[in-house]
Amino acid sequence: MKGYAGKFLRVNLSAGSVTDEPLPLQVAMSFIAGRGFGIKYLYDELSPNIDPLSEQNKLLLVTGLLAGTQAQSCSRWVACTKSPLTGCYARASAGGDFGAWMKFVGYDFILIEGIAQKPVYLHVTADKAELREAAEIWGKGTAGTQEWLEQQHGAMTRTACIGPAAERLVKYAAIVTGRRTASRCGVGTVMGSKKLKAVAITAKRHIQLHDPERFHALARDQLRIMKASSDYEYNKSFGTTEGAITRNVLGVYPVRNYRFGQLNGYERMGPEAFRRMRVADVGCYNCSIRCGKVHVVSDGPYAGARSEGPEYESYWAFSGSIDSTSVEATIAADELCDDFGLDTISTGVTIGLAYELYEKGIITKADTEGLELTYGNHGAMIALIGKIGRREGFGDILAEGSLRAARRIGKGAEAYAMQSKGLELAGYEPRGLKATGFGYATSTIGGSHGNGSLAFQEWGMPVPRVVDRFTEEGKADIVIHNQNGAGLEVGIVCAFAFSCGDWFRRLFPQMLVAATGIEEFADWGYLRKAGERIVNLDRAFNARDGFDRRHDTLPARFQTEPLHTGKAPGEGQIVRSLEKFLDEYYRLRNWTREGIPTREKLEELGLGYVVKDMAPFWRDQDRDGSIG
């Protein structure tokens, strides 16, 4: 199996064992790699309704098929598990070098199960994998942990680790590699529950491809096409820091817990503000875009703060949520979250909930240990991040995520939790981007922008067609098209590189063939079918645990309160027809009216073995799934 390592590492922490297992060709053919392998093994090996923090849950760290090759920007990796935040399927995507190193050391993925008796880390080399005591690094931040592991194992070591937040089971803890994170859904929390502090891989660069010459020629073409595109220069120059301007101009930059679509004074947060503090450009393995911009704050209350970023979502989460334009505070917050190992989106949105509850008098200073959560007070936000990371005082409540925290606070707070399926929404306003909002509602991991939810067609992308962002009708096929693009996450292709020219459409299938020799991968129809198979299996995983139409929803705010956008377009927008959208979406997916995959669809996708699991969820009128 050229292109693949052809095996994975099973780590049983309860037994203290590590074993190699072969990757079956049929699994590779059907699920390709990355996210596909994640859901395939989770579905097959997890029983329904298990507790995500119990010994029964499993965590997969999965590399992309093209990781470690000369292909540009294709070495990302994903963490897949059952989420302690949402209770449904979880996938979180990360960059850095770790995905390439997993491939170099000879694995397509690492499957972690059980719970260790005491904190351990996994060290993997080409010769052996072993569990080692982690007493010295348990409690350390992610930066200190990675430094320590490099000292132990040398400069050719790359690490994915957790910080103190995951050790304390903060529900939205991340896995950190370098200064990049697999952040969403509490994948780090699962790792923390298993008492696994880190996975450290020491390896030399080594990849075997089916047709290396052909592959290298395609990679050269890819780079040529990317470099000729305006997006390449744009991403290389600014990273994602320009995003604050465009999103505010469009009126889709959520402010004050998604009440407004434009931040007063947003002009102060443009790329020039960040450029003044930039000290370096960094990137993931074999990516010449190097979108990571390292910033250091030189003066003021956050002097000395340093972060690789913040990228768009993080600086939005630490500015829009609390109505602040302090660039310095976003850098300090980002650094703090990275070191604690916290998901910046969930952290920022949960803090945004607290600020609104404070404004409404639902919570007071007596609840927040004296912190004044008044809009613009970024000092209180920084203090809250520390409290969350340590699960200290009021931070212990916020550490549960917005939905659980709101339920615990009571007094109607739940109405202000901006989440879908329990996952905090991202920095794109659904009332100004309707297909994106419908994508949040139907995403298999909850309210994520990165799981096929962000509809670039609303920004002018012509494939399959450009759509008006305010219109609600006729968007189900667009949402399905984007979600079925799970193929991006088998490669795994970075979303920023994907948009640099048309290399992906022209070259990606050929690259997969040159890497593996599997001719079927040359066919876009085959790859899209694999994407659809992955989404259907995600959906079946959730359905087995009781998720259905009732969970494909958006917070009531978007459906009852008009959006306010200041000078931007979109004033008064509201989401009016979510239910109508769902009818159309399920019909096109060939799912039942309750959103359960039908027999016909599962068999068409080669998932016949899932039919028996879905049958109990088909209602009388659509028992055989025939009505769709």
Provide the 10 A C-beta neighbour count for residue 233.
13
- Residue 291 binds to ligand SF4 (criterion: CB under 6 A): yes
Output the smallest distance, CB 486 to ligand SF4, in A: 18
- H or E element, residue 434: helix 434-442
Nearest to 533 by CA among 152, 27, 121: 27
Nearer to ligand SF4 by Cβ, of 363 and 500: the residue is 500
Stretch that binds ligand SF4, among 120-128, 286-294, 335-343, 463-471 (CB under 6 A): 286-294
CB of 95 to ligand SF4, least distance (A): 4
DSSP lists the bridge partners of residue 624 as: none
CA 164 to CA 171: how far, in whole Å? Answer: 12
Q: Give me the torsion for CA of 224, 230, 232, 238, rounded to 10°.
A: 160
Decide: is 309 part of the binding site for ligand SF4 (CB under 6 A).
no
CB of 213 to ligand SF4, least distance (A): 25
Q: For residue 160, list its beta bridge partners.
A: 199
CA distances from 79 to 42, 220, 363 (A): 11, 29, 35
Q: Which of 73, 193, 319, 326 lies at the binding interface for ligand SF4 (CB under 6 A)?
A: 73
DSSP character for 426? -
Residues 345-374 that bind ligand SF4 (CB under 6 A): none
Q: How far is the CB of 222 from ligand SF4 (least distance, A)?
A: 13
Binding pattern for the stretch 448-487 against ligand SF4, x by CB under 6 A and - elsewhere:
----------------------------------------
Task: Decide whether 283 or 570 has the Cβ nearer to ligand SF4.
Answer: 283
For residues 347 and 321, what is the distance between their CA atoms, to the nearest angstrom? 10
**Would you count residue 433 as binding ligand SF4 (CB under 6 A)?**
no
Minimal distance, residue 284 CB to ligand SF4, in Å: 3
Beta carbon of residue 497, minimum distance to ligand SF4 (angstroms, whole number):
5
15 secondary structure, DSSP code: T
Binding characters for ligand SF4, 93-132, by CB under 6 A (x = yes): --x-------------------------------------
Element (H, E) at 213: helix 212-227
Q: Which stretch binds ligand SF4 (CB under 6 A): 157-165, 204-212, 241-249, 289-297?
A: 289-297
Size of interface with ligand SF4, in residues (CB under 6 A): 13
Sign of CA dihedral 485, 540, 622, 602: positive
Measured from the CB atom, the residue of 289 and 488 that comes closer to ligand SF4 is 289
Window contacting ligand SF4 (CB under 6 A); options: 267-275, 408-416, 437-445, 489-497: 489-497
Please identify, using beta-carbon distances, which residue of 184 and 599 lies nearer to ligand SF4.
184
Position among 196, 252, 284, 611 found at the interface with ligand SF4 (CB under 6 A): 284
- Applying CB under 6 A, the span of 190-198, 281-289, 410-418, 461-469 interacting with ligand SF4 comes to 281-289
Residue partners of 431: CB distance under 8 A and separation at least 6: 261, 437, 558, 562, 563, 570, 573, 574, 575
* Strand runs labelled E in 140-282: 157-161, 175-177, 180-182, 196-202, 278-282
Q: What is the DSSP letter of 564?
A: B
Half-sphere exposure of 583 (CA within 13 A, CB side): 6
| Min CB(103)–ligand SF4 separation in Å | 15
Q: Which of 132, 290, 528, 593 binds ligand SF4 (CB under 6 A)?
A: 290
Q: How far is the CB of 416 from ligand SF4 (least distance, A)?
A: 32
Which tokens in the block code for residue 233? 């220069």
The answer to whether 175 touches 199, Cβ cutoff 8 Å, is no
Q: Interface with ligand SF4 includes 289 (CB under 6 A)?
A: yes
DSSP string, 91-131: EEEE-SSHHHHHHHTT-SEEEEES--SS-EEEEE-SS-EEE
Cis peptide before 115 (omega within 30 of 0): no
Q: Which helix (H) or strand (E) holds 10?
A: strand 7-12
Pick between residue 35 and residue 171 the one whose CB is nearest to ligand SF4: 35
Q: What contacts 323, CB < 8 A, 6 or more positions away?
A: 255, 256, 263, 264, 355, 375, 376
Q: Which of residues 70 and 235 has its CB atom nearest to ligand SF4 in the complex?
A: 235
Q: At its nearest, how many Å lie between ligand SF4 and the CB of residue 144?
A: 24
Q: Which of the ranges 84-92, 288-296, 553-561, 584-592 carries the binding residues for ligand SF4, by CB under 6 A?
A: 288-296
Q: Which is closer to ligand SF4, CB of 515 or CB of 518?
A: 515
In the block, residue with structure tokens 């070191």? 339
Cβ distance to ligand SF4 smaller for residue 49 or 288? 288
* Backbone torsion region of residue 186, taken as left when φ is above 0, otherwise alpha when ψ lies between -120 and 50, otherwise beta: left
The residue behind tokens 């990849």 is 207
CB nearer to ligand SF4: pick between 284 and 543: 284
Residue with smaller CB distance to ligand SF4, 380 or 494 = 494
In 3D, which of 81, 106, 67 has the Cα closest to residue 489? 67
Kindly tell me which of 226 and 336 has the beta carbon lying closer to ligand SF4: 226
Among 3, 106, 254, 292, binds ligand SF4 (CB under 6 A): 292
Residue 437: enclosing H or E segment and its boundaries?
helix 434-442
The binder of ligand SF4 chosen from 496, 503, 508, 521 (CB under 6 A) = 496
Q: Residue 73 is encoded by which pair of tokens?
A: 């920007």
Binding marks (x or -) toward ligand SF4, 199..238, rule CB under 6 A? ------------------------------------x---
Q: Which is nearer to ligand SF4, 56 or 229 (CB)?
A: 229
Binding pattern to ligand SF4, positions 553-592, x when CB under 6 A? ----------------------------------------
What does each C-alpha distance from 275 to 44, 180, 184, 242, 295 come to in angstroms?
48, 20, 28, 11, 8
Q: Does 497 bind ligand SF4 (CB under 6 A)?
A: yes
Contacting residues toward ligand SF4, per CB under 6 A: 73, 95, 235, 283-284, 287, 289-292, 494, 496-497
